[in-house]
């Protein structure tokens, strides 16, 4: 299992070269330019610190409702003459400074009901100008366009007292355009990231969902452009799966939900069967176990069952090989690499919660007074990392098998897995094999939490039983017989 890292997305433009972008919490931040042509820019009208400070104070008074009457003029002037032009500059530092200020303003505007609707309308028009093309086909720099897309995705129409936000519906036309366009992968990713938030908040109409499903299905089935990095293509595919999964969860029996589930089923099967990207397979497994009904033929179900068994065997082999290499190179088990296989998206995978966490490490803030200390807290970092990686992978496998995590958070979550997962679609003859595999997956997860584990060696000893039984269950599904002439490489570990 290699460490999953969020890939650089190459923002394709009409010039030779590209802008490398990195992701963080769904955000894209431009890092460098190469052979950039002359993009559009807006002139910064406020030059001196005194001018900027005075106009900023006036703008803040208007946002906070401290003027005699509702007045958008101070905001319009400050944005027109300073913040919007800052976003169009070639300096990443200036762009990031503008973005930070705008994000602070958006949070403040949300608290002013009288101002919010009018501000949002003006702001959307400004961001659409920055992110799109003019009548001559000219654009602002990729970093400007992507930051405008990020800010549009952040816009809310309402925020409740408990902090729950309603995304601004008026930006959905922009999201549609971002996802549909082909020239800039960063814009596509921003659109997909924001769309998930809108779907989860119930802010997309049925007509809108149908439009998005059509575009997402096209994204799912279209081959990667020749100049797109494979990891970037997999990352975008992961985002598409998350969007379709959220739509399918709404109602998989009719309307957009049924369309989304129908689009997902063959795509998930192909990803899990081909296993070209291990973390994309994780995403597909999680999606499969989350949607309520899956329309697969009996032959496709058998293919899926065997593919999952193959993935389980390979995952165990790779995980143990990584531990062996780490222990050998680092002197008996110290230094197991950090990092994991990543999450389905910056906003978390569908139908899963991090509450279980594999049973290692205390909650943020440390152990509370009189709270029983978690023995896993004392384990070395390399052991925690090894267990975390295995737990993440096998929790997704667990969800794919029966539609639920190993430890549902509550009774409602425990009962929500009806008609979900592989166990509900296999034939009666195969069901015992799948439930048997599920039991061994749970045993493996349980053995990973053995409190006596002190180092990588004791970790491998603790899971010896479940690993052997896991492989045996997989062999049963795959119709393979283990050789009795000599130990396999895995048994010799």
Nearest to 176 by CA among 146, 205, 216: 216
Q: Which residues contact 296 (CB under 8 A, 6 or more apart)?
A: 265, 269, 304, 425
Nearest to 237 by CA among 296, 167, 311, 287: 287
As a whole number, mean pLDDT of residues 308-335 equals 78
Phi, then psi, of 30 in degrees rounded to 5:
-65, 135
User: Is 80 exceeded by the pLDDT of residue 293?
Assistant: no
Q: Give the number of other CB atoms < 10 A from CB of residue 118.
A: 13
As a whole number, mean pLDDT of residues 423-440 equals 95
User: Is 60 exceeded by the pLDDT of residue 328?
Assistant: no
Residue linked to tokens 């299905």: 217
DSSP single-letter state for residue 347 = T
Which neighbouring-strand residues pair with 20? 10, 32
Q: Write the DSSP assignment of 392-440 as a string of letters.
A: HHHHHHHHHHHSS-SS-SSHHHHHTTTT-SGGGTS-HHHHHHHHHHHHH
Strands 156-159 and 19-24: unpaired
Q: Write the DSSP assignment of 61-95 as a string of letters.
A: HHHTT-SSS---HHHHHHIIIIIHHHHTSS-HHHH
**Cα–Cα dist 160/95, whole Å:** 30
**Burial bucket for residue 92 (CB in 10 Å: 0-12, 13-18, 19+):** middle
**Apex 481 CA angle, 477 and 485, nearest 5:** 155
Phi, then psi, of 469 in degrees rounded to 5:
-70, -30
**Cα–Cα dist 311/278, whole Å:** 9
User: Is 50 exceeded by the pLDDT of residue 424?
Assistant: yes
User: Is 90 exceeded by the pLDDT of residue 361?
Assistant: no
Higher pLDDT, 377 or 200: 200
**Cα–Cα dist 314/441, whole Å:** 14
Query: 230-248 and 255-274 helices cross at what angle (nearest 10)?
Result: 140
Burial 424-436 (b: 16+ CB within 10 A, else e): bbbeeebeebbee
Residue 243 CA to its chain's centroid (Å) = 10
**Cα–Cα dist 486/482, whole Å:** 10
**Burial bucket for residue 321 (CB in 10 Å: 0-12, 13-18, 19+):** middle
Alpha helices in 139-171 (DSSP H): 142-154
pTM of the complete model beyond 0.95: no
Higher pLDDT, 391 or 325: 391
What's the pLDDT score for residue 251?
83
As a whole number, mean pLDDT of residues 459-481 equals 93
485 confidence band (pLDDT: 50, 70, 90): very low
**Tokens at residue 344, please?**
């389905």
Q: In what order do the strands lie in the sheet with 9-11?
A: 9-11, 19-24, 27-32
Burial 446-462 (b: 16+ CB within 10 A, else e): ebbeeeebebbeebbeb
366 confidence band (pLDDT: 50, 70, 90): very low
What's the pLDDT score for residue 406?
87
The 10s digit of each residue's pLDDT in 25-71 is 233 344 334 445 589 999 999 989 999 999 999 999 989 877 667 78
What's the pLDDT score for residue 225?
87
**Cα–Cα dist 100/82, whole Å:** 13
Nearest to 281 by CA among 246, 302, 307: 307
Residue linked to tokens 């090894």: 386
Say which range, 32-41, 48-57, 113-122, 398-407, has the weakest mean pLDDT: 32-41
The 10s digit of each residue's pLDDT in 219-270 is 998 888 888 999 999 999 999 999 999 999 988 788 999 999 999 999 999 9
What's the pLDDT score for residue 278?
93
Three-class SS state of 18: coil
As a whole number, mean pLDDT of residues 177-187 equals 94
What's the pLDDT score for residue 354?
35
**Cα–Cα dist 102/409, whole Å:** 37
**Tokens at residue 71, please?**
């007045």
**Cα–Cα dist 175/195, whole Å:** 7
First and final C-alpha spacing in the chain? 17
Query: What's the Cα-to-Cα distance from 421 to each of 20, 126, 290, 426, 457, rounded to whole Å?
Result: 38, 45, 7, 9, 34
């Amino acid at each position: 299992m290699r460490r999953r890292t969020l890939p650089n997305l190459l923002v394709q433009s009409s010039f030779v070269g590209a802008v490398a972008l990195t992701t963080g919490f769904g955000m894209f931040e431009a890092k460098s330019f190469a052979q950039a042509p002359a993009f559009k820019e807006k002139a910064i009208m406020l030059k001196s610190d005194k001018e900027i400070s005075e106009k900023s104070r006036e703008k803040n008074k208007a946002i906070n409702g401290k003027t005699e009457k509702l007045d958008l003029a101070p905001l319009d002037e400050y944005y027109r003459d300073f913040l919007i032009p800052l976003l169009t500059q070639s300096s990443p530092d200036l762009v990031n400074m503008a973005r930070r200020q705008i994000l602070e303003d958006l949070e403040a505007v949300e608290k002013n009901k009288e101002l919010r609707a009018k501000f949002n309308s003006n702001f959307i028009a400004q961001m659409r100008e920055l992110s799109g093309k003019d009548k001559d086909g000219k654009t602002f720099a990729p970093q400007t366009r992507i930051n405008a897309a990020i800010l549009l995705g952040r816009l809310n129409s309402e925020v409740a007292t408990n902090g729950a936000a309603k995304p601004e519906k008026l930006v959905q036309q922009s999201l549609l355009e971002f996802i549909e366009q082909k020239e800039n992968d960063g814009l596509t990713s921003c659109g997909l990231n924001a769309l998930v938030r809108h779907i989860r908040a119930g802010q997309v109409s049925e007509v809108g969902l149908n439009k998005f499903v059509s575009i997402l299905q096209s994204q799912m089935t279209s081959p990667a452009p020749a100049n797109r990095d494979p990891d970037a293509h997999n990352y975008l595919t992961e985002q598409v799966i998350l969007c379709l999964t959220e739509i399918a969860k709404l109602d998989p029996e009719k309307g957009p939900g049924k369309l989304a589930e129908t689009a997902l089923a063959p795509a998930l099967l192909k990803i899990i069967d081909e296993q070209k990207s291990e973390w994309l397979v994780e995403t597909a497994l999680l999606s499969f176990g989350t949607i309520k009904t899956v329309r697969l033929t009996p032959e496709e179900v058998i293919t899926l069952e065997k593919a999952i068994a193959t993935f389980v065997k390979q995952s165990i082999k790779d995980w143990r090989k990584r531990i062996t290499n780490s222990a050998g190179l680092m002197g008996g088990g110290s230094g197991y690499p950090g990092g994991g296989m990543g999450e389905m998206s910056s906003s978390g995978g569908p139908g899963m919660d991090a509450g279980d966490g594999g049973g290692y490490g205390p909650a943020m803030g440390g152990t509370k007074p009189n709270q029983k200390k978690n023995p896993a807290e004392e384990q070395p970092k390399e052991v925690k990392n090894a267990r975390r990686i295995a737990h993440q992978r096998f929790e997704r496998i667990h969800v794919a098998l029966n539609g639920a995590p190993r430890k549902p958070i509550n009774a409602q979550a425990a009962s929500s897995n009806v008609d979900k997962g592989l166990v509900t679609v296999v034939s009666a003859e195969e069901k015992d094999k799948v439930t048997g595999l599920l039991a061994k997956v749970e045993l493996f997860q349980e053995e990973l939490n053995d409190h006596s584990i002190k180092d990588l060696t004791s970790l491998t000893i603790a899971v010896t039983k479940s690993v052997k039984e896991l492989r045996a269950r997989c062999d049963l599904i795959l119709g393979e017989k283990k050789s009795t002439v000599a130990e396999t490489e895995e048994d010799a570990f």
